[in-house]
Each structure stands twice: as C-alpha cells, then as structure tokens.
Amino acid sequence: MSSSRRPTARRSRAAVLDSSDDDPIGRSGPKAYHRSRSGCFTCRLRRKKCDETRPFCQSCATYALKCVYRPPQWWATNEQRGGQRERIKGRIRQTKVMEKNCSLREYVNKIKALCEEDPATSSFGISQAMLPEPNPFAISAQGPYQRSASIPGALIGLPIEPKPEPPALPAPIIPFDINIGSGQQMFLNNNPLQNNLALSEFGTMNLAMPTPPLASNEWFANNYNPLQPFDPINLQGGFAYPNRSLSTCLQTMMPVEEKDRHLVEHFLDNFMLLIFPIVDAHQAGPARIREVFGLMQNNRAFFHCCLSVGAIHLKSSMGMEDQMDHDIMQHRYDAMSQLCRHLNKKSGYMQVIDASLALILFHCSLGEPDDYLPDVPWTSHFQGVSHLVKKLNHAPSQFNVSLIAWIDIIAATMEGATPLFSHTYRTKHLSGHTSGLQQLMGCDDRVMYLISEITCLESLRLEGLVDDMAILSHVTALTRQLDWTEPVDPRLEVPFTSGGAVVPERLTKIITALYRIAARLYLYSLLPSVDYNDLAITTWLDTMVEILKYIPAGSSGFDRCLVWPLFIAGALASPFSNFRRVLTERVVALGYLGKLGSFGKMYRVLKEVWRESGGLVPPTGDEDDSHDAAEDPDFPINTDGLIITWQLEDPPQEPERTEVPELRQVHWRDVMKRNKWNFLLL
C-alpha cells in the first residue's frame, strides 16, 4: 500500500511545482500570471493580460478595441462570445493593415508641414482672390493677432451716444455693472476702485449698425462647384420628405457600392435631419441638400466622411456594441487617404477644406465622449483649413465662411486663445457686415463677434499682458457693447405656429438671447476674484432658465443648438443653482441624442466640474451615473454575466451626521486638461 501511494505523492508534488510556473514571479511559461477577474471583458475574451487601466486598458487601446468593464451583451452565451472573438480578430487585422498605410499619421504630418510652410512660397496669393467680394479671411492672413495694442479691438467701436432703454424683459435681468459700477467708480468685491482709465481712451468712433442678414437664397449662392440638374427636389415647395427619401434620390445621381448602400441611406435619411436644424428652419431643404449631394458626387473624401458618420450614427442609434467599428474605420481611413492625395498634389484645396469642415462638424454632431477608435483631432483639421483658406485663388463659399467663423470663435473659447481670424470679425463688426452665423447656428453675428473680443481679452489675461484695472475697464466697455445688441422689443415668443411650423425669426431671437447671457457670464468670469454665488451670475442663470421654457425639451426642441451657452452657464452654476437641475432634465428628455456629439461631451464635462466642485450631480437615471463606481478598481464586477446582489449594512444606531461637502470653484478648462479632453463644444 505504501509503495502505491508513493507515486501519487510524487505526482501531487510535481503538480504543485508545475502550478507554481503560473505565478508571474516564477518561470516564464504558457501561463506566466494569474488572470485577473477584474480585467476588462475584451481581454478576458482574447485571453490576454489586462493592466486594468480605466477607461481603456493598454491592450485595447493598442488595437482600438472597445474596452468594457461591465458584462457586455455578447458575454451572455458561448455563441455570442465566439462571434465577438471573430469581430475582434478582424478589427486587429484591419488596424495592423491601416497602421502600415499610416493614413492618419501621414495626414497629421502633412498638416504640420503645411502650417510651417512659408506663406511666400504658397501657390496662390491672397491678392489673387478675384471674386466680387474679397477673401473674407485675407485680412488676418498676414500674421497672427497683434497683441501690442493690449486692448480688444472691439472697444474701438464703443458707442458714445446713449442708447434708449428698451422695455423691461418678462424676466428682468440685473444690469451687468451691478458690481462694477458706472461713472467714476468701479467695484471689485464690493470695494470701490478709482477709475483711472477713461473709456474715451479706447476710441471715439460710433458703432456702425449691422447690415440686414443675407437672404436665404444668397447664403448658398457662392458654391465653388456648379451642380448638375437636380430633378427629385421641388424648388417651389421644398423637398417632399413623405413621398421620397433622400437616399432614393441619390441613387439616381451617383453609383454606390452595395456594401455601402445601407450607410449612405442611413446618413441621408437619418443623420441629415440632425446636423443643420437652424438652416432647415430658415429654408426648406433644397439648397442644403443640393450642396451635400454635390459634394458627395465630386469629393471622394467628403463621401467617405459621410459613410463613416452614417456607420457611427447607425451604431449609436441602434445601441450596437462594436459591430460597426470596421465600417467606421475603413471609411475614416479612406477619407484621410483622399485628403493626403490632394495635399501631395498641392491641388484640390477647396475639396480638402470641404471635407475637413465636414469631419469637424459631423464629429461635433455625433461623436461620443469616450471614443476609443483612432481619429485625427479637430485641431489638426482646423489648422489645415485656416492655412488652406489663405492659399485659395478665390473666396470660399458663404456657407464655408459661416462655418469657419463659428468653429474659430468657439474653438478659441475652448482653448483660451485668440481666434485665428479675430481681426476679420473685428473689421466686420465695425463695418456692419455679417458672416451668415445667424442663418447657420442661430445667434446674431454681432454677439458672436463680441464673444471673439471677449476671448481676445481672456487670452491677454492668461498671458499676463493686462492688469486687474485694465480688465475691469475692458469688461465695462464690452458690457456696453453687449447692451448695444439688445433688441428694442425684448419680448420672446414660442418659435412655433399653431400648426407646428418653426418661425425662424422667433427662434433666432431666443437663441441670441441665450448666447448673449452666456457671453455676459463668460465676460464676468474674467473679473478678478469672481464669485459664482454673485447676484449677477445667479440672476442671469435664472433668466436663462426662464428663456429655456420657450423651447420645448426633447428631440423636437433645439437644445443641441445651445451647447456653448448651456456649457458656460453650467460651468458657472453653483451647487445650489436651479440651472443644474433644469439642464439635467433636458438631457434626460433628449434620450440617446443627449449622449452624442458636443451635447453629450458638454454634459460629461459639466458633471465632472460639478463633482469636483463638491456639489451633488443630479442623476439622469442612466448607466453613466455610475461611471465613477465602474472606474473604481474595488468595484465588484460580475464575471459571469449574472446579476450582483447587494447586501446592505444595518443602519447605524447613532444618528447619522450629514457631512456638508466642501465647496470650491473649479474652472472647466482645468478639468478638461486633467482628463485630456480635447472637445470642441459647438
């Protein structure tokens, strides 16, 4: 008996020694570690080691795979896991092939080389722009904004003659200078300061009244490429959406491969209804549709951009995991390859501009806050656009002028820098010329020009080129200019007729009012030692809440057009402000659209700002509310896809002590830098 037991004991000891090889400290072998049960499910499916970095582990980030730490849908059965494993293998093969082509990296490098190129060697000069109106961006092409003036240029146009007081608003706004004062004194933290800088030093030229907005038929009149006859659209009555879809019209105009047909159809029939709501309100479709169809026909980079966006929207709207990732990346790389070809040939710059602007705008309309797929940042796209505009031998289309101005001004507020074409906006503001911004995004051009000037002032402040007294003077002057944009009739009306049709004049008046308040908040935040509980800030936020009541919440409203004003207001809203609750309710009303594009990114940043400031974040009843718990390494994760049963502890016998959270002011830009968020919140 003893002899028969001895081999068994030897085998058991050998098994113990063999199992020690699985220890990561031991010898290398087929299994050199104990696989973690808290790693991401993608690594578990691939049987790879996971470093458990949140939100993306290194292994998933290397191959642009979706990294999930909660049980995904495909984890339920072995059959679903097998299908997901094959999709992951295909994505890895695609990533390796595309890395060899280096389309994304090559495009970024070419943009950098373009930015470093000497303007004297450009193939086209700005003076060659021979269209009836000179190149609207030629003014600032000679160099960056000159900071030697040390004051924003909009102060030159400070109105001297007093403006008649308009009637009171339904929800009255406290005058901006409540803590700044007027006349000979200004106030800093309620302490009087002597006003040593007379506003008359900034100039004596009266502000020119702006010219009337361009008619809707003028706005698209300057397209760079003539389009072919377009029969499916009735130019008198607009496009008949109920009778015929946009995708069926495109089939008669250009051939589309069968494998891409569903992406084209989804882009035209679904996404096209989301990207230009203000343009749609001003005109019933034909000009916009003709423009997009023409670009899809004649610009392959734009075409692949549309297909990639169609795949993204299909993935988001249908709640897919990563089934569309292959199509998204394939067309994204194809678009970049087409752009690289144009840059290599040093021709087709207008096509590069059109495609680059589409890549920026579409991603702002649809991109997710945590996009794990590789992409070119919007900053690179816009750098290329800003430099290529100076190389054109003619002016861009009016639509592109409006889009570039919109991106430039909002991008400058994101980075705290001077807009690239700030001098152009300053000149247009003083001469009363519009850029078509009101027809594109709903805000009066004059207010957008003043936001550009406020950004110039912030840039000077961040660089230490102005002291506190100068900031106070500039804030006072810019405040008066914002007052100058107030309408004579401040009454607001619901922007819909009794039949449900949108009244564009009412809508743009509401949007302009919200942008104007956001501009005041943005300007006020530049004051030294600003307090978010200040009476002026709380009153403006309450007024914004009242104005939002004119716009219905949900997908039938226009909240996705108000990303920037909602963001500025939310960033300055104290934990006790009613604005936080109202904004959260409107996010919930949007459904899945509230998670996409700039709107979803805006709310993501605001939640982090509110969390770091010590206040409570209003719950939305969504999975994202448990984001912090999911990123906690100690958070229990179900490895088998089963429901976790939480065991609540018995309540303490002693009465609970409610701890008041420590409240502090957190700047949203610091939060974005810490989280490495490079968002453009259009």
| C-alpha span between 269 and 273 (Å, rounded) | 7
Instruction: Check if the beta carbon of residue 31 is closer than 8 Å to that of residue 41.
Output: no
CB atoms inside a 10 Å sphere around CB 263: 24
- pLDDT averaged over every residue in the chain: 74
226 cis-preceded (ω within 30 degrees of 0): no
212 pLDDT exceeds 80? no
How many alpha carbons fall within 13 Å on the CB side of residue 614? 10
Contacts of residue 499, Cβ cutoff 8 Å, sequence gap at least 6: none
The crossing angle, in degrees rounded to 10, of helices 378-389 and 398-415 is 130
| C-alpha span between 207 and 481 (Å, rounded) | 9
User: HEC profile for 47-85?
Assistant: CCCCCCCCCCCHHHHHCCCCCCCCCCHHHCCHHHHHHHH
Instruction: Check if the beta carbon of residue 326 is closer than 8 Å to that of residue 90.
Output: yes
Closest CA relative to residue 233, chosen from 217, 221, 248: 248
Distances (CA, A) of 114 to 136, 300, 315, 343, 510: 21, 21, 35, 9, 41
Residue 270 class from Cβ within 10 Å (0-12 exposed, 13-18 middle, 19+ buried)? middle
| C-alpha span between 96 and 671 (Å, rounded) | 34
Q: What's the token pair of residue 439?
A: 């027809």
User: DSSP assignment of 241-301, as one string?
Assistant: TTTS-HHHHHHTTS---HHHHHHHHHIIIIIHHHH-HHHHHHS-SHHHHHHHHHHHHH-HH
What pLDDT shows up at residue 664?
81
pLDDT digits (tens, 9 = 90+) for 431-478: 999 999 999 999 999 999 999 999 999 999 999 999 999 999 999 999
Mean pLDDT of 289-312: 89
Residue in the block written with tokens 């607001």: 492
% the chain with pLDDT above 90: 35
- The torsion of the CA quartet 142, 147, 149, 152, rounded to 10 degrees, works out to 100
Q: Specify the DSSP element, H or E, that contains 325.
A: helix 325-345
What pLDDT shows up at residue 417?
94
What pLDDT shows up at residue 644?
33
User: HEC profile for 572-609?
Assistant: HCCCCCHHHHHHHHHHHHHHHHHHCHHHHHHHHHHHHH
Model confidence, pTM: 0.73
In angstroms, how far is CA 247 from the centroid of its own chain? 27
Closest CA relative to residue 565, chosen from 549, 583, 584, 581: 583
Contacts of residue 400, Cβ cutoff 8 Å, sequence gap at least 6: 353, 354, 357
| C-alpha span between 81 and 87 (Å, rounded) | 10
In angstroms, how far is CA 647 from the centroid of its own chain? 41
Helices vs. strands in the chain: H and E counts, helices first: 27, 2
187 secondary structure, DSSP code: E
641 pLDDT exceeds 60? no
What pLDDT shows up at residue 406?
96
145 secondary structure, DSSP code: -
If one compares 273 and 209, the residue with the highest pLDDT of the two is 273
Instruction: Check if the beta carbon of residue 519 is closer than 8 Å to that of residue 450.
Output: yes
Burial 595-615 (b: 16+ CB within 10 A, else e): bbbbbbbbbbbbbbbbebbeb
| C-alpha span between 47 and 331 (Å, rounded) | 30
Sign of CA dihedral 539, 541, 547, 549: negative
How many alpha carbons fall within 13 Å on the CB side of residue 162? 3
Q: What's the token pair of residue 242?
A: 């109920």
Instruction: Check if the beta carbon of residue 555 is closer than 8 Å to that of residue 505.
Output: no
Residue in the block written with tokens 């790693």: 39
pLDDT digits (tens, 9 = 90+) for 12-52: 444 444 444 444 444 444 444 455 567 889 898 988 889 88
| C-alpha span between 213 and 437 (Å, rounded) | 9
How many alpha carbons fall within 13 Å on the CB side of residue 515? 31
39 secondary structure, DSSP code: S
Instruction: Check if the beta carbon of residue 36 is closer than 8 Å to that of residue 24.
Output: no
CB atoms inside a 10 Å sphere around CB 471: 18
pLDDT digits (tens, 9 = 90+) for 384-410: 999 999 888 878 888 899 999 999 999
- The torsion of the CA quartet 580, 585, 591, 596, rounded to 10 degrees, works out to -20
What pLDDT shows up at residue 661?
58
Instruction: Check if the beta carbon of residue 54 is closer than 8 Å to that of residue 631.
Output: yes
pLDDT digits (tens, 9 = 90+) for 573-612: 988 889 999 999 999 999 888 988 999 999 999 999 999 9
| C-alpha span between 493 and 233 (Å, rounded) | 32
Least confident of 106-120, 356-370, 507-521, 624-638: 624-638
Burial 278-307 (b: 16+ CB within 10 A, else e): bbbbbbbbbbbbbbbbbbbbbbbbbbbbbb
Strands 191-194 and 185-188: antiparallel
Instruction: Check if the beta carbon of residue 411 is closer than 8 Å to that of residue 369.
Output: no
Residue type at 39? Answer: G
| C-alpha span between 114 and 255 (Å, rounded) | 34
Residue extents of the structural domains in the chain: 2-100, 102-126+237-394, 133-222+421-456+463-488+501-535
Longest dimension (CA), the chain: 114
Residue type at 122? Answer: S
Least confident of 73-82, 207-216, 285-294, 502-511: 207-216
What pLDDT shows up at residue 156?
37
Residue 564 class from Cβ within 10 Å (0-12 exposed, 13-18 middle, 19+ buried)? buried
The residue count of the chain comes to 682
Mean pLDDT of 79-93: 87
If one compares 299 and 201, the residue with the highest pLDDT of the two is 299
Radius of gyration of the chain (CA): 29
| C-alpha span between 534 and 543 (Å, rounded) | 14
Q: What's the token pair of residue 504?
A: 């564009």
pLDDT digits (tens, 9 = 90+) for 90-139: 888 877 777 776 667 888 888 888 887 755 444 443 333 323 344 444 43
